[in-house]
Amino acid sequence: MYEDLAYDVVDTPIGPLLLIASPRGVRNIEFPHNGRVVMPEVGLPRDAARLAEATAQLRAYFAGDCLTLDFARDAQGTPFQHEVWDALGEIPLGETISYGELARRLDRPNASRAVGAANGANPLPIIVPCHRVIGSNGNLTGFGGGLPTKRWLLDHERRYAPRPPLELQP
């Protein structure tokens, strides 16, 4: 079902991102493939006005001016996926956790694989920060935009993440 969907493209340091939105909000963000936007198979109209708030916030995010993305969203998924995606939003900027830790935070300590699958199904990468989840050994693991993009996003957020004030010893 393709209801009233529209798209726009925002240029970013990691390549052009394809944004698809319903009247309720952004439904999908797609990473480039080989540096190019992959257009949906169904011809959607380009609607920069509908996606203006999202593109403005994403530009500010990549410029380091605004790291809180709070535009309207319309992610489609199961109740469990939404539970995982909500938990991803609780991971502080500039920090990472493992799939197992995320499962424990959801009171599902044996569900790290299911959490990983929900993470991989995230239709709103960057906004729902699935890039902040890493392997239990601390290694970067799968990411729809590729591991170099995941590394770039983590480095970018660490550069701008708020830091606690230094406590100087007298």
Active site residues: 130
The distance between the two most distant Cα atoms of the chain, rounded to a whole number of Å, is 66
First to last CA, the chain: 66
Pairing of strands 133-134, 97-98: parallel
**Cα separation, 140 vs 137, whole angstroms:** 9
Give the 3-state DSSP-derived string for 35-74, with helices as H, strands as E and coil as C: CECCCCCCCCCECCCCCHHHHHHHHHHHHCCCCCCCCCEC
**Cα separation, 157 vs 67, whole angstroms:** 8
The encoded tokens of residue 162 equal: 């708020």
**Cα separation, 45 vs 67, whole angstroms:** 29
